[in-house]
Amino acid sequence: MSQARTIILGIETSCDETAAAIVARDENGQGEVLSNIVRTQLDEHKAFGGVVPEIAARSHVQWLDHIVAQALDAANLGYKDLDGVAATAGPGLIGGVLVGLTTAKAIARAIDRPLIGVNHLEGHALTARLTNNTQFPFLLLLVSGGHSQFVLVRGVGDYERWGTTIDDALGEAFDKVAKMLNLGFPGGPKVEEWAKKGDASRFKFPRPLLREKRLDFSFSGLKTAVRLVAEAAAPLSDQDVADICASFQSTIVAILEKRCAQALERFNEEFPDEVAQMVVAGGVAANQQIGAALHQVAAAHEAELIVPPMKLCTDNGAMIAWAGAERLVLGQVDKSNIAARPRWPLDSDDMKLGDHHV
Ligand code: KG4
Ligand code: ZN
């Protein structure tokens, strides 16, 4: 592209955040967030202890236009200033994805600018390039309410999934443990808070798959073990709850430490001439005990740990705008009939820069 600065609107509606942002990318690949508006639907889902897809989709319909207008206002820009419109095209709750993608299609058509359908996971994967100008290759650890995976990021569209969860996502495990202890939703921050007052050595929980070499996770057995302990100890005193939380969280930390060490060893074997970089994304990255453990593992492997600011680690429009910008400058834009996809693994063939796009 000959233009010096590429300005992209990004829309994210794949879960329970209605988000829009404006991001600029200069010709050297430096990014700047011009605005980043996120409206969380937390209160609408709270009573149900989790995200209700139908409520989420309706709420996106109700709010998205306002959120987009706010994003433009906050950046002091109008539609005509945009060079492209990006929206999450999957994976995620399909009703919500459809709302965002359809809105993006309409805006792109109305202002006659390219549309970029972004894989939500690619948004997380490339955020560190927006915030830290991180160079390829790097390792991504994505730990959110919907995903838990290691991804080798070789380039835009060039991803290799090294491991994933075979059942629950890590954030989901936190949420489910919080639910069974009646701590409220979202559970991660509550479990972390309670864990501070607890004795982590009181309960020994299983560490599924940990003896195996693969980089996959499994959290459902751990969750069941927590349930059995909670049932056996009922009625639970505050100290019991704190001890369960502390024991659960320290088990998670041990699992992550082991897996991250293995992933970094593999990275160092595959790229002996590179300083390993590990980028962390997803809401679980907010957990301080987990963060401290990851710093230690990275230091022990002479790797750099990159944790973007939390508001860009959790779901947001800026990461979608940025991924859109990265794709647009490589000439990869989409047709207006691109489909919304509930499932869309990062290492699927159609993520590669290739021919399904225009
Ligand atoms: O990335 P995110 O905001 O949304 C998506 O899932 O896409 O992640 C939310 C998840 C929730 O499951 C929440 O419980 C978890 O991140 N989480 C935490 C903490 N803060 C948020 N888990 C553990 N410790 C925390 N401090
Ligand atoms: Zn996400």
Q: Which helix (H) or strand (E) holds 269?
A: helix 238-270
Q: pTM for this structure?
A: 0.94
**pLDDT tens, 55-101?**
999 999 999 999 999 999 999 999 999 999 999 999 999 999 999 99
Which residues on neighbouring strands pair with residue 116, listed in sequence order?
86
Mutating to test ligand 1, I would choose from 174, 176, 185, 255 the residue with most ligand atoms within 8 A of its C-beta, which is 174
Q: How confident is the model at residue 351 (pLDDT cuts 50, 70, 90)?
A: confident
Strand pairing class (148-155; 138-143):
antiparallel
Residue of 46, 97, 144, 250 to mutate, ligand 1, most atoms within 8 A of C-beta: 144
Query: Among 155, 156, 124, which residue's Cα sits nearest to residue 141?
Result: 124
**DSSP 8-state symbol, 315:** S
> Bigger pLDDT: 105 or 355?
105
User: Looking at the CA of 145, which ligand is closest?
Assistant: 1
Q: What is the pLDDT of residues 223-267, one digit of tens each?
A: 999 999 999 999 999 999 999 999 999 999 999 999 999 999 999
Pocket of ligand 1 (CB under 6 A): 15, 144-146, 171-172, 174-175, 186-189, 192, 282-284, 286-287, 314-315
User: For a pLDDT cut of 90, what percent of the chain falls above it?
Assistant: 91
- The predicted-structure confidence for 265-289, as pLDDT tens digits, reads as follows 999 999 999 999 999 999 999 999 9
Which of 329, 355, 331 has the alpha carbon at shortest distance from 30? 329
pLDDT one-digit tens code per residue, 145-170 = 999 999 999 999 999 999 999 999 99
Cα 282 to ligand 2 centroid, rounded to whole Å:
6
Cis peptide leading into residue 235 (ω within 30°): yes
pLDDT at residue 24 is higher than 70: yes
Longest Cα–Cα distance in the chain: 67
Per the CB < 8 A criterion, the answer to whether 252 and 202 are in contact is no
- The closest ligand to the CA of 91 turns out to be 2
Q: How far is the CA of 358 from the centre of ligand 1 (A)?
A: 35
Per-residue pLDDT band at 352 (split at 50, 70, 90): confident
Ligand minimally distant from the alpha carbon of residue 40: 1
Which two three-digit tokens encode residue 56? 């989420």
